[in-house]
Structure 1
Amino acid sequence: MSEQPMNVLVIMSDQHNPKILGAAGNPVVRTPNMDALAARGTRFESAYCASPICVPSRASFATGLYPHQTGYWDNAMGYDGAAESWGHELQRAGRRVESIGKLHYRNAEDPTGFDVQHLPMHLKDGIGQVWGSVRDPLPRRDNAPLMVTISGSAESDYTRYDAAVTDSTCAWLTDEDNHREPWVLYTGLLAPHFPYLAPPEYFDMYDPSDMPTPTMRPEHGHARHPWVEAFAGVLPGLDGSNTEEERRRAAAAYYGLVSYLDHNLGRILGALAASGQADNTLVVYTSDHGDMVGSRGLWGKSLLYTESAGVPLIMAGPGIAANSVCHTPASLVDLYPTILAAAGVTPTGMPRPGRSLLDIASGATDSDRVVFTEYHAMGATSGAFMIRRGPYVLHHYVGFDSELFDLAADPDQTTDLAGNPAYANVLADLEAELAALCDPVAVDKQAKADQAELVDRFGGPAAAAAIGTPGETPPPPLENQAAMSKVLHQ
């Protein structure tokens, strides 16, 4: 534990593909502020979310537990405080803890561990995308191609919300009333989550014709894994029904949104420096999951590939090695012990699977460390589970053959080694690691049972399939920002 508690600033974006980051070696995207943060701190090159979709991922971030441990399976099951969060630990220890921006929990009234929520964004009407809980049969989303079609150069409610969240964060950091005691502040930004609409000055930074051609599109002869093909089957026409101009425009808009996010991150870090608190503040930048950005003919999240299940993760502050890259795999569940350790608070709740990133970053590379991801939400015909250990990653799909990749030799995951006899022992070892964490068949059964119960409460599959926002969750109105802050005594 830190002898002198640090302030902690956690900045979480939404849907940032970890490969689209200058510090990670991307030659096209412009992310000077993220790159500068990595230069003065440590970047975790193999970081993952606990579930590649917004609400379950954020519940795991809050609780430090996996979805199968908490039952927050999908985007209709928002975190409600029933499982203790790192915020509860901080409150119990008397630490000041506040949030600004998107949390995507159930609502602002639940006791989720914040003294104040500024500009909070949660599930619409507290119920979220009920249609995503319908898994038998999976409902089709015939509007899916619009994700790519409606893209380009424009402001949106999302970019305007991010500007307001950034303004509020900068004001909070520079307000001297907030300097009197150690604090933990969480800021949630929306970019680069779709809609793929980037403010004009950021869209114009990228020529659509210069966008990298995504790998492994079916039209190029790539045969998708049967589980992935079933997932794609409920998103009819996504990518395949879009023109090449639309795809490149959407990719340019995504890159523009990443640069817009970087601009807002820079503003926040500039405010922290101006406040005089940077030398005693641990800064963590990450995202809740990634985005396929056209790879394998898919956009958005939900898959176990690095583009979707991977996240950027950068940490800088007192005692953090500068210009360092940590090769030990990391997870968003590691933020629970990290935040508490930096704040000088000893956990009192049940054991968590994560490890403090402060310890991971300062230690030798742990090539045996296991990182775990699972998915049970929209489009999943069965539970999907990922195990990462060393250079190898296993994708285990209930009822389907597994996939196995060597990320050191094949970072784009082009060659499935699961059927290669030379890797039979590696496959068996990783399957055993998964079995030690959970029983995939039992977890899949439990997730579907919980979702069926929820669907029944909303009138059955036919009725439930029409309930919930069809796409992105709408941000809260910003007409009266002062009224948006929720002061909570939890």
Structure 2
Amino acid sequence: MTAPNILIVMVDQLNGTLFPDGPADFLHAPNLKKLAARSTRFKNAYTASPLCAPGRASFMSGQLPSRTGVYDNAAEFRSDIPTYAHHLRRAGYYTCLSGKMHFVGPDQMHGFEDRLTTDIYPADFGWTPDYRKPGERIDWWYHNMGSVTGAGIAEISNQMEYDDEVAYHAKAKLYDLARGKDDRPWALTVSFTHPHDPYVARRKYWDLYEDCEHLLPEVPAMDYADHDNHSKRIFDANDWRSFDISEEDIKRSRRAYFANISYLDDKIGEILEVLETTRQEAIILFVSDHGDMLGERGLWFKMSFYEGSSRVPLMISAPNLPAGLIETPVSTLDVTPTLGALAGVDMAEIEPWTDGQNLLPLAMGTERTEPVAVEYAAEASYAPLVSLRYGKWKYNRCALDPDQLFDLEADPQELNNLAGDPAHAGPLQTLRAKSEARWDLDRFDAEVRASQARRWVVYEALRQGGYYPWDYQPLQKASERYMRNHMDLNDVEDGNRFPRGE
């Protein structure tokens, strides 16, 4: 049996609550809705960490940040950690990446045989937080609320330029694969940076949401004093006191965000059209690295365990998987073992390297009872935070803060912390025991602090004198493209045509 081709489509900062069963009805996303209709859809999928680099390293490896050491957006993703690209390549796949994966460190491939674009973010240690200086804002790279007050229309931006390029190279690669010059199965990862802020969008997509009824959050902004401790730290990290956020700012930001979902839908539709017109069949997995709070309770961006930040869309379209909705909580950690199972890789070679689980049994009706784990140890935290989603419960723990316990069925907006309610002492005790069995928070904190301290020394040293960046430099072999004099023109014209002429 021939191993199936696999297309992994990743987007950035897409709020999973907008995908209760595929894209919400109000979203103009016909291509994603069409894909959802033929996919197994996971309603309650969670990132392993609500921040780009740690979430992506965990997605690729199936390991939590406490195992990978990728705690934040400037922590090295070590070369000796197997990823799904390694597992698939080892099994005979051609593996390729177009777009963002926020690899930090000198290894900018992590199992991919080819990489078609550079990354949109830096690959060095410059974005390292510092637990030794709680409350310090590093102005030149920390988020601030300017993304909200500056929301609106733009026909080009740094991120649009990037995602236009990502889609272009992905489509070109699919055309190239259709030509049949490589008989290996392929696994192509296409990773966009939208709808990540800043909240600016092209007018053609902006205009789709002129009469949208969802431009204000369900839970309005709260007074600073009414927030939990970690949310206060996020506000402080985002420099909220320097900005006056109006209702119009909120509407414009959410409108641009929804518009950029439609922008992505067009890009994904173009890629799927190439698959269809070149008659290539592929398993398709769609996922985000983390979510965006989008103004709920006054919070924006990510870095939080609240649903808008930590819940992500996850859909898999595969020939032998039934289309339908799965409500059992799952994780992006599950992607690597699931891809291995879909590709027919021996799972005994994957399971020792992952904290995740193969999703195929769950999709086929097998019960899953293990809790979903989430971690956060980056900017806006002063010590690691950990979370478990277990059935209807979410339990959050940090050495600096009171415990949080939410019943997500009765309280989907997470407004009622039940940790201090004697009526819920049983679930609290059960989840605290599960959390303590999984995490030694003192050890976790010490490991994060040691990593940060090392990186501050290395980064400051490497910025002195000559500097060689780790940023990926895409290879362009112009002498092997189009027609050159070491080639036969007849072969070039015939071999690069699809379908072939008679």
Taking structure 2 as the reference length, the TM-score comes to 0.86
Q: 2:364 is matched with which residue?
A: 362
Pair 1:80–1:70, CA change in 2 (3 A): closer
Q: 2:15 is matched with which residue?
A: 17
- Alignment of 1:100 onto 2:98: yes
Contact 1:326 1:365 in 2 (8 A): no
Q: 1:127 is matched with which residue?
A: 124
Pair 1:241–1:405, CA change in 2 (3 A): same
Deviation at 1:22, TM superposition (A): 7.4
Q: Which amino acid aligns with 1:401?
A: P
Q: Residue 250 of structure 2: which of 244, 247, 250 is its match?
A: 247
Q: Which amino acid aligns with 2:49?
A: S
Pair 1:287–1:129, CA change in 2 (3 A): farther
Contact 1:227 1:397 in 2 (8 A): no
Taking structure 1 as the reference length, the TM-score comes to 0.88
- Higher Cα radius of gyration: 2
Deviation at 1:158, TM superposition (A): 0.9
Q: Give me the whole-angstrom Cα distance separating, in 1, the residues matched to 2:248 and 2:371.
A: 41
Q: Residue 33 of structure 2: which of 29, 32, 35 is its match?
A: 35
What is the CA deviation profile of residues 209-265 of structure 1, one whole-angstrom value per residue up to 9, with x for unaligned ones? 844422444447982112221232222227962222112111111111111111111
Contact 2:62 2:333 in 1 (8 A): yes
Q: Give me the whole-angstrom Cα distance separating, in 2, the residues matched to 1:202 and 1:135.
A: 44
Contact 1:22 1:31 in 2 (8 A): no
Task: Return structure 1 stretches of 4+ with deviation > 3 angstroms.
Answer: 21-27, 107-111, 208-212, 215-222, 456-460, 475-478, 480-483
Gaps of 5+ in 2: 464-470, 481-502
Gaps of 5+ in 1: 465-474, 486-490
Q: Residue 60 of structure 1: which of 58, 61, 78 is its match?
A: 58
Q: 2:486 is matched with which residue?
A: none
Q: Give me the whole-angstrom Cα distance separating, in 1, the residues matched to 2:310 and 2:58.
A: 13
Q: 2:170 is matched with which residue?
A: 169
SS in 2 for 1:132: coil
- Alignment of 1:213 onto 2:210: no
Matches within 5 A, 1:288-367: 288-322=289-323, 324-347=324-347, 348=349, 350-366=352-368
Q: 1:137 is matched with which residue?
A: 134
Q: Give me the whole-angstrom Cα distance separating, in 2, the residues matched to 1:122 and 1:242.
A: 28
Contact 1:222 1:296 in 2 (8 A): no
SS in 1 for 2:116: strand
SS in 2 for 1:447: helix
Q: Residue 202 of structure 2: which of 199, 204, 213 is its match?
A: 199
Q: Give me the whole-angstrom Cα distance separating, in 2, the residues matched to 1:160 and 1:11.
A: 18
What is the CA deviation profile of residues 150-200 of structure 1, one whole-angstrom value per residue up to 9, with x for unaligned ones? 221112121122122112212222332357321111111111011111111
More off after superposition, 137-146 vs 419-428:
137-146
Pair 1:212–1:419, CA change in 2 (3 A): farther
Q: 1:468 is matched with which residue?
A: none
Q: Give me the whole-angstrom Cα distance separating, in 1, the residues matched to 2:255 and 2:451.
A: 39
Q: Which amino acid aligns with 2:151?
A: S
Pair 1:221–1:133, CA change in 2 (3 A): closer
What is the CA deviation profile of residues 353-395 of structure 1, one whole-angstrom value per residue up to 9, with x for unaligned ones? 21112222112343x2210000000110221111001011111
Pair 1:434–1:111, CA change in 2 (3 A): same
Q: 2:409 is matched with which residue?
A: 408
More off after superposition, 303-312 vs 351-360:
351-360
Q: 2:270 is matched with which residue?
A: 267
Pair 1:161–1:25, CA change in 2 (3 A): closer
Pair 1:413–1:273, CA change in 2 (3 A): same
What is the CA deviation profile of residues 72-107 of structure 1, one whole-angstrom value per residue up to 9, with x for unaligned ones? 111111424231212222222222111111111126
Pair 1:269–1:209, CA change in 2 (3 A): closer
Q: Give me the whole-angstrom Cα distance separating, in 2, the residues matched to 1:413 and 1:482.
A: 53
Q: 1:471 is matched with which residue?
A: none
Q: Which amino acid aligns with 1:438?
A: W
